[in-house]
Amino acid sequence: MEAQSFHISRQRPSRMRKLKQRAIIENLNTEMDSIYTWIMLNFFKIFYHRHFAICAN
């Protein structure tokens, strides 16, 4: 009986750690996506303005 409860208590933290790691990775992915889209938007803005400036002149 003691061994079984010990085994269960040992198993639980690893699962929690995995869930925590997954949550952290998902947060990083969403942050990277937002940063990437922000960079792309700024790049397109700059490119667009330069293109129009060249066309206007």
Instruction: Tell me the pLDDT tens digit for each residue of 16-48.
Output: 888 888 888 888 888 888 999 999 999 988 888
Number of separate domains in the chain: 1
Tell me what the mean pLDDT of segment 49-57 comes to: 72
Q: Please determine, for residue 57, whether its predicted confidence score (pLDDT) is greater than 60.
A: no
- Spell out a b/e string for 23-56, using b for 16 or more CB atoms within 10 Å of the CB, else e: eeeeeeeeeeeeeeeeeeeeeeeeeeeeeeeeee
Confidence (pLDDT) at 16: 83
Q: Which two tokens stand for residue 31?
A: 């942050």
Q: Please determine, for residue 6, whether its predicted confidence score (pLDDT) is greater than 60.
A: no
| Residues spanned by the domain of 38 | 1-57
